[in-house]
Chains A and B, each alone.
Chain A
Amino acid sequence: MSERGRDETKPDAATVERLRAAVRAEDPVERAEAPVDADLVWRAVSGELPAEERHAVIERVAADPAWAAAWRLANELTRSAAEAAPPVAPWVDRPRTRRGDGEARQKRRFRFAWSQPLWGVAATAALALIVVGVVMREEPEQPRLRGGDTAAVVSQVPEAVPLKRDACVLRWSGGPEGTRWSVRLSTEDLSWVHRVDSLETREYRVPSEVLAPVKPGATLLWQVEARLPDGQVLRGATFVNRLE
């Protein structure tokens, strides 16, 4: 597009401000079938979500004044949070430090293994077995992951198998005994969102009446959060399955 073309279409500042004011003034009434997912909006605005999922959130913002208000609020507060000085050293550094220590330990172990001839032979044999095993186990129906910036939770639902509406059971593995689970489901366009908390087992049977608004053949995104017995929360990646 030429510069001239851009100038021809460029709106004047006053028009833009009037349009923005009209959008800001809208009543943020939430629709019961699409409640605002504050966590999702925050992650979208702060750049934690991948672009594809961020686009889906922006689509909700375009369509729904409550999501739009939540977006503007998140935008204001993520900026303020970035400007505010942290009161003390960020807690997120601690896991990183631990993880860093762990990596160092792993490297030391690795060097130790290869520096000892017998260990080296054993390690080579083990590595070969693992490689062969992985190649033989490779299957085409590997569940597709979307988004998730994390992964402590592993789906036990093959992606290739559609979920039955009247027997929609999500299963996963990971986490120690005593973990409480939360599951969040949504359609790709986020027009339908469902969440359940404090599950004690590693599966969730989605009630058929909850799935009623979802069209047959729709793609369901689901994500599991683990609240560990020590209080830590681990969030799994987003898994994708089609609804029958």
Chain B
Amino acid sequence: MTMNAPRRNFHVEPRHGPAQAMVSLPAEVLEQLREDLARAVARVCPPHMADRRDDLVQTAMMRVMELQRREPDRGRLTSAYLYRVAYTALVDELRNVSRRREVQLEVVESLSEPPVASGDPEKAAGGSQIAQAVRDCLRKLVQDRRLAVTLYLQGHSVPESARLLGWDDKRTENLIYRGLAALRLCLSAKGFEP
């Protein structure tokens, strides 16, 4: 039987002891967190989920408040930890929203009369098709270009992409530009002119 004992840093998450006396975080910390969450959600959530943004932020804030209630030692509640907790809550809630939406769609399909769509369904459908086409074309790129272009399209700059990929700036820039050129060709072949 082979054993191994990697000796590196411990990743220590905060204790979750029994509920004790309520310890409040400073109001400005919570307010800053709420503002940052709202901004992040506004930037990330697609337009058709605009009416759910407040719910998403509220759910994440409730998770943080619950953590605060359970954590007797305020010293453990660093900004990094609070934001991470809120982030996990947001991802969970995004998942829930998507599932509920799928269920609603199933209900809609069973209706005899079609519902009246909000917004511009034609535009939304077109956007969705373009996004799907981008995804299909990304899949056809060689891996290094795909990784670089993916980060660039997610909003990262060239230096940020390079740092995340562990490559130098010049190589990353070349991969992004050539990858984007190939992506545009692929999209054109599919009938999309970005």
**Residues of A with Cβ closer than 8 Å to B?**
1, 6, 9-11, 15-16, 18-20, 22-30, 35-36, 38-39, 41-42, 44-45, 47, 51, 54-55, 58-59, 61-63, 65-66, 68-78, 80-82, 84-92, 95, 99, 139, 141-143, 145, 148-152, 154-156, 158-159, 173, 230-237
Contact = CB atoms under 8 A, between A and B. Distances in A.
A80 B36 contact: yes
B3 A65 contact: no
A54 B164 contact: yes
B12 A27 contact: no
A41 B194 CA distance: 29
Nearest to A51: B166
The 6 A-B residue pairs with the shortest CB-CB distance, nearest first, are A231-B15, A151-B6, A76-B40, A81-B83, A51-B166, A26-B131
Given A30-B95, A155-B4, A232-B13, A91 B194 contact: no
B15, B39, B75, B154 interface centre (most CB from chain A within 10 Å): B154
Contacts of A154: 3-6
14 contacts: A25-B131, A44-B164, A63-B135, A73-B94, A75-B154, A76-B36, A82-B80, A86-B78, A95-B10, A143-B2, A150-B10, A150-B11, A151-B5, A154-B6
Contacts of A235: 11
A216 to B, nearest CB: 24
A151 B82 CA distance: 24
A82 B32 CA distance: 12
Given A9-B181, A27-B48, A142 B78 contact: no
> Helix, strand, loop or mixed for chain B's interface?
helix
B2 A66 contact: no
Contacts of A88: 74-75, 77-78
Contacts of B82: 81
B40, B47, B75, B91 interface centre (most CB from chain A within 10 Å): B91
B14 interface: yes
A89 B73 CA distance: 11
Interface residues of B, number: 89
Contacts, number: 248
A135 to B, nearest CB: 15
A231 B180 CA distance: 48
B22 to A, nearest CB: 15
A62 B139 contact: yes
A231 B17 contact: yes
Nearest to B98: A29
A76 B2 CA distance: 42
Contacts of A20: 153-155
B104 to A, nearest CB: 13
B16 to A, nearest CB: 5
B184 A86 contact: no
Interface string B135-158: 100110001001100111111100
A77 B83 contact: yes
A244 B170 CA distance: 42
B90 interface: yes
A149 B194 contact: no
A24 B44 contact: yes
Interface in B54-100: 73-84, 86-88, 90-92, 94-95, 98-99
B9 A149 contact: yes
A85 B79 contact: yes
B26 interface: yes
A73 B42 CA distance: 10
